[in-house]
Structure 1
Amino acid sequence: MRERVALVTGAAGGIGSAMVRELAGRGWTTAALDLGPAPDADYAVGVDVADPGQVSAVVRRIEREMGPIEAALCAAGHYALVPVSDIAWEDWNRMLRVHLGGLVNVCRAVTPGMAERGRGAVVGVAADLALGGGDAEAHYSAAKGAVIGLVRALAAELAPAGVRVNAVAPGPTDTPLLPPDSPWRRPAFVQALPTGRLAAPEEIALAAAYLVEDGTFCAGEILSPNCGAVI
């Protein structure tokens, strides 16, 4: 069997770490990019995904040492609950540079090789807030909305070359990204969800793995496993 290499950003914890474990269980060799350690991956390197030079150099190193990257899953990101009038410009810019810029940098580094080989899959991580918005979540919602726009544009551009670009847009998920005092953890909100619970990171990883392996007919699709938060 040909070794399959998957690149996962934001792999030190939460959804990204769950993606690494899910793909590893399916036989993929995993390479992790994160500012922190990612012990579940076969290969891990500390990278700021907002820095295009770092991402490009690491992708070249991974493909030289491990083989061609056939799947890239971009889960790197952060979250903040701040009223729009209180968001500092540097925080606006950082939110966009990590979520949108991180996806752009990975795509620019991996998709030329994918297109040359005629196969590959990219999965971005958006959020249900990009679909429905949220109080005091303007810069996060805007960044995730930009991810959806980029995914759909790249899907149209790259699908003819055999490269599928899609996204998952999770709802509130039980990861450290949601602090204990998050409004999305309040019992009244959780109980109001049709499922009556938050999603697990492993469930989001399962949706992403579907887009990588089984969703060969998917291009520009946004799967939103959000426990019914947005219907």
Structure 2
Amino acid sequence: MSESAVALVTGGASGIGAAVVEALTRRGFTVGCLDLSGSAPGADYAVAVDVSDPDAVAGAVAQIRAALGPIGAVVTSAGYYEMAPVAEISADAWRRMLRVHLGGLVNVARATLPDLIERRGALVAVASELAVGGGDGDVHYAAAKGAILGFVRSLAAEVAGRGVRINCVAPGPTDTPLLALDSPWRASDYLMTLPLRRLATPPEVARCVEYLVCDATFSVGDVVNVNSGAVI
């Protein structure tokens, strides 16, 4: 893929998304962002949008296309995190978790796929190690992220023949504002169970995303587990 292409990043205002914006900018991409905040540090253009709303996403993607040009790379990192025992998860909480994580990916993929096919581009979805290993108190989050893996592998098979690469990064706990300071994922007893004994950093995850977008020309439907060895 030409590094002069336009990239679209969701959730680019902070955390992993902001690090991805920075990484792709360094590689020569012009970057547009979709984020609830309507801003993203380092992005060339940003639109305030709820990624769970398909019509709003379609309109926002059209705005970015009109402002920056055809989209050659997509990274979906918009999302949120909460823990709760399964008996305490309301029907609304289940629906919201799935709408934002899986629905957000689906909405963005459908809106950008014509551009990706035209430019033989790449899409990278950000999932989670919990999609692979599960977690106590993480049922609805893990289910939504697990659904992303199935979508990525199936869409990859569908469009690979047209030159589009669809892949996924599944980070372990990462040092972002999504993890509260008292989160169990930050606790020293948890960190000591990890081979690297620490959380990932957003730039480390972003480098894996950058690799899948720019360099991994033979990767299709792959899941890269960036998790400090948590699911070895």
Give the TM-score range, shorter chain: over 0.9
Percent identity over the alignment is: 56
1:131 & 1:142 partners in 2: Cα distance? 10
1:118 & 1:60 partners in 2: Cα distance? 16
Aligned ranges 1:71-220 → 2 under 5 Å: 71-115=73-117, 117-220=118-221
Aligned to 2:69: 67
1:81 & 1:220 partners in 2: Cα distance? 28
Alpha-carbon deviations, 1:26-54, whole Å to 9, x = none? 11111011001212211111010000111
CA-CA distance at 1:2 after TM superposition? 7.2
2:3 & 2:11 partners in 1: Cα distance? 26
1:50 aligns with 2:52: yes
Give the aligned length.
Answer: 230
SS where residue 177 of structure 1 aligns?
A: coil
TM-score (norm 1): 0.97
Are the counterparts in 2 of residues 121 and 212 from structure 1 also a CA contact under 8 Å?
A: yes
1:23 & 1:193 partners in 2: Cα distance? 29
2:22 & 2:3 partners in 1: Cα distance? 19
SS where residue 171 of structure 2 aligns?
A: coil
Residue type matched to 1:134 in 2? G
1:209 & 1:173 partners in 2: Cα distance? 17
Are the counterparts in 2 of residues 33 and 44 from structure 1 also a CA contact under 8 Å?
A: yes
RMSD: 1.1
Alpha-carbon deviations, 1:115-163, whole Å to 9, x = none? 2x25010000110001000001000000000000000000000100001
TM-score (norm 2): 0.97
Structure 1 stretches of at least 4 aligned residues deviating more than 3 Å after TM superposition? none
1:51 & 1:35 partners in 2: Cα distance? 11
Change (3 A) 1:145 1:223: same
CA-CA distance at 1:177 after TM superposition? 0.6
Alpha-carbon deviations, 1:157-183, whole Å to 9, x = none? 010000110000000100111101111
Gaps of 5+ in 1: none
Aligned to 2:226: 225
